[in-house]
Amino acid sequence: MRKALRNTMQTLNHNFLRSAGLIHAELVRQACKLDSLVLAEAPWRRVNGVARSAQLAHSRGWHFAARHREEQLLREIEDLQAELGRVSDHLRQSLAPQTVPTQVDLYRDLVALESDFEEVQCDRDVYLITVTTRPIELEGMALGRFQIRLDWRLRKGSQTYTVVALDPNPAQSNDSVTHPHVSDEALCEGDGRRAIHTALAAGRLYDFFTIVDRLLHNYAPGRAYVELDNWYGTRCHDCNSTVDEDERYRCHRCEETLCGDCASYCSHCDETCCSSCSVSCPCCDGLACVGCLQTCRECRREVCPDCINHNLCTRCQNHEPEPDEVYPEDQEASPPVSTETAVQPDRLGEAPVCA
């Protein structure tokens, strides 16, 4: 191997060479590792246990408990499906012809990356290969440079690589989105997922980094965390829609962002307010912000300034009843009952009858 290196390379990058040796040893170890092919028993036991519990709750008529158990069963089944997918993916890879790249191949990949990227670093202490892209611009939107950081141990159950913005220009509505297809330093691989994981499984470092870089230089409308058209937009507090900078309003009380459809106007203070900071006056049904409301000292209702005078609302001033209150004058008039004694007709010549 050393002779081959001397013949093909005049100046050795010793850091790259030692890193290539460590990566080669890791790939060999993983190619011989078969314990991950065993299906974990815990998810299967949990599915059976929760299913029996849900069935028991149904049989005893505990409908609320049965629904709760069924929701838990759904989550356990999804976990089991994820475990089955992991095992099937690993088994598929193990059945494919295994070709572990040599140390020379890995070294050449690292050297080749230097010609395509601004910077390539290997940190053997933390098993990390870091590649820095050139500045990325998508449809006129400058997103800056990104670092693709690969943990070459390819640890199971953890993120193998991250994509970190070096000159972050995040979406205004979500600062964790630094690229239309990157959120929380994780790349949405889309159609490139199989190619990325195939390259990683085969130890093709150059292919892996160039595929990720190509995805970062492309934009797929409709499949982005935040669309480029809405990059500088913010979320409306009331309806959660994206609002462009020149079309947004702000509540003068809580300072939340609003779209034009959700922004309310208080005619008493001439300010814009959101749905949480505005109410309908119970007297006139007009809209007012909570800061302009005044409390009636009689009924303790909060009304707008137009509907209160001397601390009394218009209903209390006019003695208007509440909608559910019935006063005697509201009832149907009944014929008056006379309290006078009825006058008997004078019947001359008839003898009085004693009771």
Over the range 31-50, which residues count as b (16 or more CB within 10 Å of their CB) and which as e? eeeeeeeeeeeebeebbeeb
- Output 259 or 352, whichever has higher pLDDT: 259
Residue 246 is predicted with a pLDDT of: 66
- Looking at the DSSP bridge assignments, the partners of residue 119 are 132
**Domain presence at residue 231:** no
What is the overall mean pLDDT for the chain? 81
**pLDDT mean over 28-47:** 69
Tell me whether residue 140 is in a domain.
Answer: yes
Contact 282, 259 (CB under 8 A): no
pLDDT at 324: 53
212 neighbors 195 (Cβ within 8 angstroms):
no
Last residue in a domain, options 32, 64, 95: 95
40 versus 263: which is more confidently predicted? Answer: 263
Measured between alpha carbons, how far is 316 from 220 in angstroms, rounded to an integer? 62
Whether 295 is covered by a domain: the verdict is: yes
Nearest Cα residue to 168 out of 148, 146, 149, 137: 146
Task: Looking at the structure, tell me whether residues 72 and 132 fall in a common domain.
Answer: no
Map tokens 């609320």 to a residue: 64
CA distance 211 to 101: 18
Comparison of pLDDT for 259 and 149, the residue scoring more: 149
**pLDDT tens, residue by residue, 179-234:** 999 999 999 998 898 899 889 888 899 999 999 999 999 999 988 998 898 888 77
Note whether 210 and 145 are same-domain residues: yes
Residue 133 shares a structural domain with residue 203:
yes
- pLDDT exceeds 90 at position 322: no
Residue 285 covered by a domain: yes
Residue 202 in contact with residue 101, Cβ under 8 Å? yes
In a domain, 327, yes or no: no
Q: Confirm whether 170 is domain-assigned.
A: yes
152 vs 95, more confident: 152
Overall domain count for the chain:
3
Averaged pLDDT, 42-58: 86
For residue 251, give every residue at least 6 positions away whose Cβ sits within 8 Å of its Cβ, in sequence order, or none.
237, 258, 272, 273, 274, 276, 277
**Could you tell me if 23 and 85 lie in one domain?**
yes
In this predicted structure, what is the pLDDT of residue 32? 65
Helix ranges (H only) for 32-173 are 41-59, 63-95, 103-116
Question: What average pLDDT does range 248-260 have in this prediction?
Answer: 83
- The answer to whether residue 243 sits within a structural domain is no
- The position carrying tokens 């690589």 is 161
Both 122 and 210 in one domain: the answer is yes
d(CA 153, CA 203) in angstroms, rounded, equals 11
Are 280 and 313 in a shared domain?
yes
Do 163 and 82 share a structural domain? no
Cβ atoms < 10 Å from Cβ of 150? 20
Q: Are residues 208 and 137 in the same domain?
A: yes
Q: Does a structural domain hold residue 335?
A: no
What pLDDT, in 10s, does the model give residues 256-272? 888 888 888 888 888 88
| Domain span holding position 161 | 117-216
Q: What percent of the chain has pLDDT over 70?
A: 80
pLDDT at 339: 47
If asked whether residues 87 and 130 sit together in one domain, one would say: no
Q: Is residue 136 helix, strand or coil?
A: strand
Residues 78, 11 within the same domain = yes
Q: How confident is the model at residue 320 (pLDDT cuts 50, 70, 90)?
A: low
User: E strands of 166-236, at which residues?
Assistant: 177-179, 182-183, 186-187, 234-235
Q: How many CB atoms lie within 10 A of CB 203?
A: 24
Statement: residue 138 has pLDDT above 50: yes
The model carries a pTM of 0.54
- Per the CB < 8 A criterion, the answer to whether 264 and 252 are in contact is no
| DSSP states of 236-291 | -TTT--EE-GGG-EE-TTT--EE-TTT-EEETTTTEEE-GGGEEE-TTT--EEETT
Burial class (CB in 10 A: 0-12, 13-18, 19+), 80: middle
